[in-house]
Structures are given as structure tokens and as C-alpha cells.
Amino acid sequence: MAQGFSLKDQLFNIEKVRYLAGLFADADAAFDAEVFERQVMEQLLDLELKQRINWIADCLGAQLTGPVAEFGPVLRAALPPPLDPNLRDDDFGDFIFAPLGELVVMRGLETPEPSLDLIEEITQRFSMEWAIRPFLNRWPDLVLARMQHWTTHSSYHVRRLVSEGSRPRLPWGQSVDLDIASPLPLLDALQGDSTRYVTRSVANHLNDISKKHPELVMDRLDQWGAQGSQNRAELDWMTRHALRGLVKVGDARALSMLGYSADADIEVLRFDVPDRVAIGDVLPLSVALQSATGARALIDYVFWRRKANGDLTPKVFKLKQVELPAGKVVNLRKTQRLKGDATTFRLYPGQHRVELQINGRVLAEATFELTAE
């Protein structure tokens, strides 16, 4: 059987380790690249992705001894040129530099000023959103003040670090103890940014906040709209991205902000699913809609899958955004593959339910029997 794609092996392998070793050897004649490479590779391939980051940091620390003030100049000298400042998006950097941030955390948490100086440099080669969070927890006022200064940094990678590093629910990231509203002045300063890489992070940050404080998020978006400091089309994009979680749960105000009325005159003429579907096959959905007066419709479907204990749990999927002309019947089709080997959940045989959610309201539902492959 062919081996599947391995992200950890693509990001951390002997070629990447050798590249990193060469940078440090060029920066410091005392750095033994061969010893570093050999030490790293003794364990690297047996480790998971995050473990590989920590292990490489440990191996670097074996040669870069002392506190940040001592090894910082070598680390800074080893850095390659910053990422292209002319790009606008999707330039996360090279993962092989993630261990540098971990080393700064390991050795520099009690000396925040020089450590933050290093993080500012490293993040222009690879995002330091994970490394900044221990400093936020240990020195919240100092780091927030530094972040406020960074909101006007010439590098959009540093500006993005402000929003991404302070997110309440950063994937893979250490939780932060900040009050949910503490970073809002930072987002106020960044919401008018000209770079999508930054504004996407701002929107993701707002989406995190919306899980517990939806009104706070929507009030802020209204405030930014009134200020007019962001391009209208970009702010509209940010609003859609920031409110996506609220849209999935049918929040009426969020839908209204996006131009969808929960009270729209929409009738479901047909919502068909087959009676039986096997795990591994596709579930076809067939929908017919009509609006007597015309309406904008944001159509989702909620798949209620059965868990091992028999309970049903919902997951919302996008179906279509559509204009319904007055009196015209609109037919839509969608297929959902029912993978038995999904990475995030497992399917179990039994009765399942699908709901048709339009502008936040469930207007129809159907059940089907999911059978074994």
C-alpha cells in the first residue's frame, strides 16, 4: 500500500535540518553543524510535528548556550533575509524556523524585552504566533504595549502577529489569560490594514470572540463601518469572515448584517434525501425553493451524525447563496460524501437526520438510514 502524505515529514526532514544547521554555522564558527544534524536526526523521524519543533529547539539550545542576551546575536545573524515584503497574503514562512521561537521561550521568558526583540525579527521569517503567547501570559501589560507599537510596523508579518498571537482560540496555541476585550484596541488599529494577511487574522480573531460574546463583535464591526477607515469591499469581506460562526448557528443580527432576513418569505417545495445510504457513498440532497415576493437566501444544511453512544451531534455545511426571483421555483442539488475514514470524526450506522437551514431558520428536515460499508 502506498504511503500517504506526511505533513511533518514535508516540514521537518534532513534537508530542512541541514539548511538550518548551515545558517547557524555561517553565523558562528563555534556552531558544529554536523553534530547538530546528527543529534536532531537521531530522534526526529519518531516524533510528531509539534514534538519535532521542540526537539530541534532542544538541539539548538545544546550549542547556543546561555540566556537570550548571549545567544541572541548569533540567532539574529543566522536568520535569512525577511520574507518578501511585496506579497499580500499566504506567506506564512518556513516551518523550520518555528524552533527558534521555542528556544526564545525556553530561555527568555524572564527577560521579555530582548526576547520580544528577537520574536519581532523571527516572525518576519516564520510566524511567531505560538511563541508570543507564553509572554502574553507572563507579561500581559508589557506585551500588549509592545503589540500596540507593532500595529504600525512596516512588515505586515509583524502586524499580523499582533492579531494572530492574541487570538482567544488560536489553533495549536497555548491558551491566553487575557480578558476577551483587552486586544480590541489592537484590532481597532489593524482593521484598516491594506494587507489581506492581516485583515484575515483580524476577522479570525473576531470569529473567536463571537463564540462567547457575539454582540461585542457585531458592535465593533458596526463601529468600524461608521469610521470608514477600511475599504468598503474589504470590510464587507472581513464581516462575512468574522460572522461565519454566528451565521452557522442562525444568529439573526449577523444574518441581517450580511443582507439576509430571517423573516424572508421563502417556501420549501421539496427537500429530498434517499431512505438509505451506505458509509463511503454520497448522500444526494435535492431542494426546490420559492419566494412569492423575492428574497436573498443563505442556504445551509445541518448533518446530524450519530456518535458511538447513539447520540446525534450537528455539523453545519454550506449549500448555496442564491437570489430567489419573485414567484420563480429554484432547484438546487448537493452531494455529501459520507467518508468512513474522516480524520475528525467517525460515522456509525443508524438513523441520521439532515435539516435545511435558510437564513438561520430550519425550514425542512429529512431522515435516512446509514448502513455499514
* pLDDT of 265 strictly over 70: yes
Lowest-confidence pick of 37-41, 46-50, 275-279, 341-345: 341-345
Instruction: Provide the pLDDT confidence category of residue 5 given band limits of 50, 70 and 90.
Output: low
Regarding the domain delimited by 64-257, which CATH topology (the fold level of the hierarchy) does it fall under?
Answer: 1.25.40
Q: Which CATH class is domain 267-371?
A: mainly beta
Concatenated DSSP letters of 158-227: HHHHHHHHT-TT-TTPPP----TTTTHHHHHHHTT-S-HHHHHHHHHHHHHHHTT-HHHHHHHHHHHHHH
Stretch 222-231: mean pLDDT: 95
Query: What confidence tens digit (pLDDT) does each residue in 42-92 have?
Result: 999 999 999 999 999 999 999 999 999 999 999 999 999 999 888 777 777
Residues with Cβ within 8 Å of residue 163, at least 6 apart in sequence: 183, 186, 187, 190, 198, 201, 202, 204, 205
Given the C-alpha cell 445510504, which residue does it identify?
Answer: 277
* pLDDT of 121 strictly over 80: yes
Per-residue model confidence (pLDDT) at position 84? 86
Query: What confidence tens digit (pLDDT) does each residue in 166-190 have?
Result: 999 998 889 999 999 999 999 999 9
Write phi, then psi, for 303 (nearest 5 degrees): -95, 115
Instruction: Locate the domains of the chain by residue range.
Output: 64-257, 267-371
In three-state secondary structure terms, 48 is coil
Q: What is the mean pLDDT of the chain?
A: 94
